[in-house]
Amino acid sequence: MQRLSGTMRPPRAELRDIVQEAAQLEVPKLERFLAVLATIAFLTPLLGLLGTVTGMIDAFGTIASSGGYATVTELSSGVYKSLLTTAAGLVVATPTFVAYSYLSSRVNTMLHDMERAGIEIVHMLTESRPIHGIISFQQPDETAREIEARQDR
């Protein structure tokens, strides 16, 4: 422990480890449903393809059972099944993959913000004098004058 300003403070490395451990406890909470979305997004096109194959097997089975000759009506059932399952797989997979991508991006942004906040907290706790502007969470379009004006109020 270091003695700064009359108080006992843990060393910087110890504080950094504590902040990292706290962040690591939150990561699974943020990512808990992402694996489910990824599984659905990647599995549904395969299920649609499986339906396509079974529909084509059905159509060719119809041709084989009628001695090589089949009417369009007889074939249409298998083709319809294959097109329907392909479309269903894509209809489910597309929005699921979009949701997965969006939420994954949001989680990465939140993790980055948590890391930045952790660095700032460790710095604030270990420095004896305040240092402004090392890490800033203000909006990018906010100027230094607007920040100073707010602080003067």
The answer on pLDDT for 122 being more than 90 is no
The answer on pLDDT for 144 being more than 70 is no
Q: Is residue 5, in this structure, part of any structural domain at all?
A: no
pLDDT grade for 150, boundaries at 50, 70 and 90: low
In angstroms, the CA 59 to CA 77 distance is 7
Q: Is residue 32, in this structure, part of any structural domain at all?
A: yes
Q: What angle do CA 6, 7, 11 make, to 5 degrees?
A: 125
46 close to 89: Cβ distance less than 8 angstroms: yes
pLDDT grade for 102, boundaries at 50, 70 and 90: very high
The answer on pLDDT for 146 being more than 80 is no
- Mean pLDDT, residues 100-119: 89
Please give the pLDDT value at position 4: 46
Residue percentage of the chain with pLDDT more than 70: 76
Q: Is residue 148, in this structure, part of any structural domain at all?
A: no
Residue percentage of the chain with pLDDT more than 90: 37
C-alpha separations of 94 from 39, 51, 90 in Å = 12, 17, 6
Domain count, the chain: 1
Q: Is residue 79, in this structure, part of any structural domain at all?
A: yes
Phi-psi region of 68 (alpha: psi -120 to 50; beta: other; left: phi over 0): left
Q: Is residue 58, in this structure, part of any structural domain at all?
A: yes
pLDDT: which is higher, 139 or 14:
14
Whether the model clears a pTM of 0.85, i.e. scores above it, the answer is no
The answer on pLDDT for 131 being more than 50 is yes
For 24-49, give one letter per residue: b (16+ CB within 10 A) or e. eeeeeebeeeeeebbebbeebbebbe
Domain that holds residue 101: 27-138
Q: Is residue 143, in this structure, part of any structural domain at all?
A: no
pLDDT grade for 2, boundaries at 50, 70 and 90: very low
The answer on pLDDT for 73 being more than 80 is yes
Q: Is residue 9, in this structure, part of any structural domain at all?
A: no
Please give the pLDDT value at position 152: 60
pLDDT: which is higher, 3 or 118:
118
In angstroms, the CA 62 to CA 80 distance is 13
Q: Is residue 101, in this structure, part of any structural domain at all?
A: yes
